[in-house]
C-alpha cells in the first residue's frame, strides 16, 4: 500500500507503467474512488508512454476520513501535490473528472509550476448559469444514502439511466459489479457530505482561469445532464488557448466503449505540446 501525506491527511495511491516515463496524475470526482479509473483504462494511458497514478481523494476509499472537519477544493488540490511529492515527481500531466476537474483547475491556478498540462473533463467553472444539472440528475445525486449493498447498486444503476452515456454503451451488470467493488472497498457517506461541502462552498474559478497558462484540454460528454456541456465549453472559453472536445454519446460517466477515443484524444493533445 503506497501512501502520501498532506499534513495529517493520508492519501492512498497506485501506479501503472514505468517511473522513467512522464507522469499522468488522475484525479477522481465526487465520491469516486481511484478504482473508478479501471486498471485496463489506466493501462491504456500507460501504453502511450506514461507513468499513470490514481489515488483516493480524502474522505473516500482508503484515504483519510476527516471526521467533522471541513475543507476546500484548494485543499484537495494540495492533496494531489502531496501525491506527486511522494513519488518525487516535479511536474506531471493532471487529468480530473467532474469534481476532479474542479480540483485540477485549482492545480493550474495555484500550482502551475508542477503541471505539464491540465485536462478537465465533465466539469465546470463554478459560475452560476453554466454546467447546470437537470432536476432529475440532481434528484439522483442527492437521493438519501442507500442502507444496504443491494439498494446502493440499484440506486447507482438508476442514476446512470438518468445522466449516463447512451444506453448501448452502458452494461448494467458491469455497472453493478463496479459500484459493488466501491461499496465493499470504502464508501463513507459522511465523507461524501464533506466533499459536497467543498464543492458548494467554492467561490468559483472564473477570473483566475483567465490567467491560466498551463496547456489545457477540456472534454465533455454530449449527453451529460449532471453537469451540462456548457460547463465544459465555458471552462475552455476562459482559459487562454484551451482546446474543447465534445464526446458524442457520452454522459456523466466513462464506460469502456469510450476509453479508446478518450485516451487517443488526450494523448494526441499532450503529444503535440
* Structural domain spans, the chain: 2-132+189-271
Residue 29: its pLDDT value, please? 97
Residue 146: its pLDDT value, please? 85
Highest mean pLDDT among 1-5, 140-144, 267-271: 267-271
pLDDT tier at 144, thresholds 50, 70, 90? confident
Residue 15: its pLDDT value, please? 98
pLDDT tier at 187, thresholds 50, 70, 90? confident
Q: What's the mean pLDDT when you consider all of the chain?
A: 96
Residue 133: its pLDDT value, please? 96
Residue 30: its pLDDT value, please? 95
Give me the helix-helix angle, 73-87 and 189-200, nearest 10°: 110
Residue 188: its pLDDT value, please? 86
Q: What is the pTM of this model?
A: 0.97
Cell of 160: 446512470
CA angle, residues 208, 105, 209, in degrees to nearest 5: 25
Residue 186: its pLDDT value, please? 84
Residue 189: its pLDDT value, please? 86
Give me the helix-helix angle, 189-200 and 99-110, nearest 10°: 50
- The superfamily CATH assigns to domain 2-132+189-271 is Alpha/Beta hydrolase fold, catalytic domain (3.40.50.1820)
Give just the sign of the alpha carbon dihedral 68, 70, 76, 79: negative
State yes or no: pLDDT of 130 exceeds 90. yes
- C-alpha distances (whole Å) from 209 to each of 107, 171, 238, 252, 264 are 11, 37, 6, 23, 26
Beta-bridge partners for 53: 15, 25
Residue 175: its pLDDT value, please? 92
Q: What percentage of the chain reaches a pLDDT higher than 70? A: 100
CA distance 206 to 201: 15
State yes or no: pLDDT of 1 exceeds 80. no
Q: What are phi and psi of 31, to 5 degrees?
A: 70, 5
| Mean pLDDT computed over 216-225 | 98
Residue 233: its pLDDT value, please? 98
**pLDDT tens digits, residue range 70-117?**
999 999 999 999 999 999 999 999 999 999 999 999 999 999 999 999
Amino acid at each position: 500500500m503506497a501512501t502520501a501525506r498532506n499534513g495529517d491527511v493520508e492519501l492512498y495511491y497506485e501506479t501503472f507503467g514505468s517511473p522513467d516515463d512522464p507522469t499522468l496524475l488522475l484525479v477522481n470526482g465526487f465520491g469516486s474512488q481511484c478504482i473508478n479509473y479501471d486498471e485496463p483504462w489506466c493501462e491504456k494511458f500507460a501504453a502511450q508512454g506514461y507513468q499513470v497514478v490514481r489515488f483516493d481523494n480524502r474522505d473516500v476509499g482508503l484515504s483519510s476520513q476527516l471526521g467533522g472537519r471541513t475543507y476546500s477544493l484548494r485543499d484537495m488540490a494540495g492533496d494531489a501535490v502531496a501525491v506527486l511529492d511522494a513519488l518525487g515527481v516535479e511536474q506531471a500531466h493532471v487529468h480530473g473528472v467532474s469534481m476532479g476537474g474542479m480540483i485540477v483547475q485549482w492545480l493550474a491556478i495555484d500550482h502551475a509550476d508542477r503541471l505539464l498540462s491540465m485536462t478537465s473533463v465533465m466539469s465546470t467553472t463554478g459560475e452560476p448559469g453554466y454546467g447546470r444539472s437537470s432536476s432529475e440528475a440532481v434528484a439522483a445525486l442527492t437521493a438519501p444514502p442507500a442502507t444496504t449493498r443491494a439498494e446502493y447498486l440499484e440506486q447507482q444503476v438508476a442514476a446512470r439511466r438518468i445522466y449516463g452515456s447512451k444506453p448501448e454503451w452502458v452494461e448494467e451488470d458491469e455497472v453493478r459489479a463496479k459500484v459493488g467493488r466501491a461499496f465493499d472497498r470504502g464508501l463513507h457517506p459522511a465523507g461524501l457530505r464533506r466533499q459536497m461541502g467543498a464543492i458548494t462552498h467554492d467561490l468559483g474559478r472564473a477570473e483566475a482561469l483567465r490567467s491560466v497558462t498551463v496547456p489545457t484540454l477540456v472534454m465533455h460528454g454530449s449527453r451529460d445532464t449532471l453537469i451540462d456541456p456548457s460547463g465544459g465549453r465555458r471552462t475552455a472559453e476562459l482559459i487562454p488557448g484551451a482546446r474543447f472536445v465534445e464526446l458524442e454519446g457520452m454522459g456523466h460517466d466513462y464506460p469502456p466503449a469510450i476509453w479508446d477515443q478518450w485516451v487517443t484524444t488526450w494523448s494526441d493533445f499532450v503529444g503535440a505540446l
